């Protein structure tokens, strides 16, 4: 009997817990759960000016950052750089590299639980969030820092309808062709400087009984097809120029336009069985990361891919080293009309709140110091060689970059026509959806170009 009464006594206690929880909620007044909300008021924010690394005190406020980069070297360098800054300013910065960033950032925003800052590889997505009011514009101070360290052209894609939301954090150069100078020299081939020379070279190589001209593989797990879209972007730029490119990106020139279809067909025409070595037997089945090994092994001569592909060559590969016969080098993916267009991509940081600590971190990301330190840390993390990181921030110490990386930077700086990766600017339905998937079907020979183009166009939202 007494046992029963003891058990009964548990009831009011349990109820009290529930009520206590309810009560305490009322006191806190509305569920503002942002950890940084207890940070000091804006007036306490230290004025770092240009030198953002200087010591401020944010009272241990937490700033969470997410992003798609989750490689060991990337995470190591980001943690190094952000950790150092956080320590100096008493901010607890946590970076999470997320394998499923594209989907997760949507969920987190819709669920009301976004990080403080996120790295966006797709300006299109950044603009969507900015227009929906989820992102917060950068403060004037960050804007000043941006103007100090970044050319307008690079700031542009972080700017939505005249307001700056994004801060460039990484720059990629896409219009590159990787090759082995020694292999070229041995076969007597010259680096092509025009697109006509490039195709002629491919024909010559294909006719010769040696390695195939190109390594191509567009498999990339859930993102299969993005390498193909890069080729299409290059071809639109080269065949029809920047105006058509811009029109295509905002869909005032639709996908089923003849000019776009021409550009979509061009890579497919080039990727014949004679021209392409695909490590897995077919282009659609070959992982894009598997194109480095055959190039080094001498199964193909060339591979068009962005600067970050350096990290995907087999371990021990040397770059632009005349003393080493197996060294790999790049040349500019030749143009057609002599206007030297450059295709770029990059990552932008954008903030989901305006807390002083968050903006201090944003401000730091905008500086050359951030870029320089990250490059140094990442080079160290990969054990020398090409880091895979690149930043076009002005005023970095050039010595942190290898000679080859410096040449990437000079291509970026001198480019008259530079366009950002179109698929990253398009709505996700297309740019990270049908453009990839229908493009893959086209490459795989399941559908023809007009079918692919009309399906992609049909999926354009609105």
Partner 1 sequence: METLERTDTSGEPDDPIVEAGQPVTRDAQWYLKVVVAVAIAVGMLYWAAVEEKIRSTLITVVITVAASAGLWIAANFLFDQVRNRWATFNAIAFGLLGAVLGVLLHGNKLTLGSGSGFFTWVIGPLVGAVVLGGLGYVMTRTQDPNQRLTIATGTGLAAGIVIAVTIREQFQPGLDVVAIVVYTAILAAVGAGLSILLKHSPVGGAMIGAAIGWILGAWGGADLGDGSLVESLVATVVPAVLLGARFGMTTDPDYTERVNIDTRSRAVIFVGPAILFIFVMLVVPAIRTGYLSLLDRDSEEFVDGENYGSVFTDRNSLDVDNWTDMFTSVPFLIGVVLLGLAVVVGAAMKKRTGRAVEIGNPTVGPLVVGLLLVSFGAFTAMRGTLINNLWWVVVVTFFSTALGLAIAVLADGRRGERVAKSIIFMPMAISLVGASIIWRFVYLARDTSTEQTGVMNALWVGLGRLSTGSGLPTLIVTVLLAICVVLALIFLSNALVKREYGRAVVPAILTVSLGWFFVRFVGIIGDGVGGFKIDDDGTVSGQTIFFVQEVPYANFWLMVIMIWIQTGFSMVILSSAIKAVPTELIEAAKIDGATESQAFWRVILPQIATTIGVIVTTLIVGVMKVFDIVKVTTNGQFGTQVLANNMFDEAFNRVNIGKGAALAMLIFFSVLPVMIFNIRKMQQEG
Partner 2 sequence: MSITAPLVNDASPGGQPGDEPSGIIDRVYGFLRGIPTGILWFIVVIWSIPTLGLFVNSFRNRDGQRGSGWWNVSPSELTFDNYDQIFGARSGLLRSLLNSAAIAIPATIIPIAIAAFAAYGFAWIDFKGRKGLFIATVSLLAIPLQVALIPLLQMFVGGAKYTVPLLDKTITIVPDFDLAGTTTAVWLTHTGFAMPFAIFLLHNYISSLPKDLFEAARIDGANHFTIFWRLVLPLSIPVLAAFAIFQFLWTWNDYLIANTMIGANASQQPTTILIANLAGDFGRNEHVLPAAGFVQAFVPLVVFFALQRYFVRGILAGSVKG
427 binds partner 1 (CB under 8 A): yes
Show the DSSP H helices in 281-365 as ranges.
292-297, 356-365
CB neighbours of 459 closer than 8 A, spacing ≥ 6? 429, 430, 433, 434
Q: Which of 2, 26, 47, 383 binds partner 1 (CB under 8 A)?
A: 26
SS3 37: helix
DSSP conformation class of 434: I
363 binds partner 1 (CB under 8 A): no
Alpha carbons 212 and 301: distance in angstroms, whole number? 6
100 binds partner 2 (CB under 8 A): yes
Residues 127-146 that bind partner 1 (CB under 8 A): 128
Report the 10 Å Cβ neighbour count for 231: 24
Alpha carbons 265 and 438: distance in angstroms, whole number? 13
The token duo for 7 is 């058990």
Alpha carbons 413 and 227: distance in angstroms, whole number? 24
CB of 43 to partner 2, least distance (A): 28
Residues 429-458 that bind partner 2 (CB under 8 A): none
Q: Which does 68 bind (CB under 5 to 8 A by kind): partner 2, partner 1, none?
A: partner 2
Q: E-strand spans in 74-211?
A: 91-97, 117-120, 159-160, 163-164, 166-173, 176-179
Instruction: Report the candidate in 399, 411, 372, 413 with the shortest Cα–Cα distance to residue 174.
Output: 411
Nearest CB to partner 2, comparing residues 115 and 356: 115
Q: At residue 151, what are phi and psi to the nearest 5 degrees?
A: -70, 155
Alpha carbons 345 and 324: distance in angstroms, whole number? 30
135 binds partner 2 (CB under 8 A): no
Angle 368-381/72-89 helices, nearest 10 degrees? Answer: 140
CB neighbours of 133 closer than 8 A, spacing ≥ 6? none
The token duo for 23 is 């009560």
Q: Which of 53, 59, 76, 437 binds partner 2 (CB under 8 A)?
A: 76
User: Per-residue x/- marks for partner 1, 88-127, CB under 8 A?
Assistant: --------------xx--xx--x-----------------
Q: Which does 64 bind (CB under 5 to 8 A by kind): partner 1, partner 2, none?
A: partner 2
Alpha carbons 9 and 112: distance in angstroms, whole number? 39
Q: Which of 222, 272, 337, 406 binds partner 1 (CB under 8 A)?
A: 222
203 binds partner 2 (CB under 8 A): no
71 binds partner 1 (CB under 8 A): no
Show the DSSP H helices in 219-314 as ranges.
226-249, 258-270, 292-297
CB of 80 to partner 2, least distance (A): 11
380 binds partner 2 (CB under 8 A): no
CB of 385 closer than 8 Å to CB of 402: yes
229 binds partner 2 (CB under 8 A): no
Element housing 22 (H / E):
helix 2-28
Among the listed ranges 144-152, 267-275, 301-309, 435-443, the one in contact with partner 1 (CB under 8 A) is 435-443
CB neighbours of 310 closer than 8 A, spacing ≥ 6? 319, 385, 386, 387, 388
Q: Which does 429 bind (CB under 5 to 8 A by kind): partner 2, partner 1, none?
A: partner 1
Nearest CB to partner 1, comparing residues 93 and 278: 278
Q: Which does 424 bind (CB under 5 to 8 A by kind): partner 2, partner 1, none?
A: none
Report the 10 Å Cβ neighbour count for 77: 24
97 binds partner 2 (CB under 8 A): yes
Q: Which does 130 bind (CB under 5 to 8 A by kind): partner 1, partner 2, none?
A: none
CB of 169 to partner 2, least distance (A): 15
49 binds partner 1 (CB under 8 A): no
Number of residues that make up the chain: 462
The token duo for 57 is 């005190």
Nearest CB to partner 2, comparing residues 188 and 316: 316
CB of 311 to partner 2, least distance (A): 7
Nearest CB to partner 1, comparing residues 285 and 327: 285
31 binds partner 2 (CB under 8 A): yes
Q: Which does 156 bind (CB under 5 to 8 A by kind): partner 1, partner 2, none?
A: none
358 binds partner 2 (CB under 8 A): no
User: What are the Cα distances from residue 123, in Å, to 162, 214, 405?
Assistant: 14, 30, 24
Alpha carbons 159 and 363: distance in angstroms, whole number? 16
CB of 11 to partner 2, least distance (A): 16
* Count of residues of this chain found to bind partner 1 when the rule CB under 8 A is applied: 49
Task: Give the chain's count of helices (H) and strands (E).
Answer: 18, 13
209 binds partner 1 (CB under 8 A): no
Report the 10 Å Cβ neighbour count for 222: 10
Residues 243-302 that bind partner 1 (CB under 8 A): 277-282, 284-285, 299
Binding site for partner 1 (CB under 8 A): 4, 7-8, 10-17, 19-20, 22-23, 26, 102-103, 106-107, 110, 128, 221-225, 277-282, 284-285, 299, 427-429, 432-433, 436-437, 440-441, 444, 446, 455, 461
Binding site for partner 2 (CB under 8 A): 21-22, 25, 31, 33, 64-66, 68-72, 74-76, 94, 96-100, 104, 107-108, 110-113, 115, 220-221, 287-290, 293, 311-312, 314-315
């Amino acid at each position: 009997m007494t046992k029963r009464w003891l058990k009964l006594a548990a009831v009011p206690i349990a109820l009290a817990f529930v009520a206590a929880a309810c009560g305490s909620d009322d006191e806190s007044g509305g569920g503002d759960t942002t950890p940084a909300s207890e940070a000091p008021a804006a007036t306490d924010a230290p004025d770092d000016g240009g030198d953002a690394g200087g010591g401020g005190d944010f009272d241990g406020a937490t700033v969470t950052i997410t992003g798609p980069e989750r490689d060991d070297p990337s995470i190591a360098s980001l943690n190094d750089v952000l950790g150092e800054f956080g320590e100096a300013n008493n901010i607890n910065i946590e970076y999470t590299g997320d394998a499923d960033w594209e989907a997760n950032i949507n969920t987190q925003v819709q669920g009301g639980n976004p990080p403080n800052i996120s790295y966006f590889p797709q300006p299109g997505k950044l603009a969507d969030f900015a227009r929906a009011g989820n992102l917060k514009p950068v403060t004037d101070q960050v804007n000043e820092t941006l103007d100090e360290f970044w050319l307008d052209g690079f700031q542009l894609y972080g700017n939505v309808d005249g307001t700056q939301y994004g801060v460039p954090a990484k720059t990629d150069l896409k219009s590159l062709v990787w090759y082995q100078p020694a292999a070229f020299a041995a076969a007597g081939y010259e680096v092509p400087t025009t697109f006509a020379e490039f195709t002629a070279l491919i024909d010559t190589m294909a006719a010769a009984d040696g390695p195939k001209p190109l390594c191509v593989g567009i498999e990339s797990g859930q993102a299969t097809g993005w390498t193909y879209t890069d080729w299409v972007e290059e071809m639109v730029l080269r065949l029809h120029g920047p105006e058509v490119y811009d029109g295509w990106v905002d869909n005032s020139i639709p996908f089923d336009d003849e000019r776009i279809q021409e550009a979509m067909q061009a890579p497919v025409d080039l990727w014949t069985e004679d021209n392409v070595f695909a490590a897995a037997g077919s282009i659609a089945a070959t992982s894009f990361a598997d194109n480095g090994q055959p190039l080094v092994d001498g199964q193909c001569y060339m591979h068009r891919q962005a600067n970050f592909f350096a990290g995907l060559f087999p371990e021990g590969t040397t770059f632009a080293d005349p003393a080493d016969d197996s060294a790999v080098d790049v040349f500019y993916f030749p143009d057609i009309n002599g206007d030297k267009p450059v295709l770029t991509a990059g990552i932008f940081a954008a903030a989901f709140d305006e807390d002083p600590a968050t903006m201090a971190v944003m401000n730091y990301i905008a500086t050359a110091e951030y870029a320089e330190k990250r490059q140094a840390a990442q080079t160290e993390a990969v054990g020398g060689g090409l880091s895979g990181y690149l930043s076009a921030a002005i005023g970095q110490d050039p010595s942190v970059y290898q000679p080859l990386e410096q040449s990437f930077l000079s291509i970026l700086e001198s480019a008259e026509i530079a366009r950002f990766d179109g698929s990253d600017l398009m709505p996700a339905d297309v740019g990270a959806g049908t453009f990839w998937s229908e493009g893959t079907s086209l490459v795989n020979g399941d559908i023809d170009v007009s079918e692919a183009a009309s399906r992609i166009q049909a999926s354009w939202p609105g």
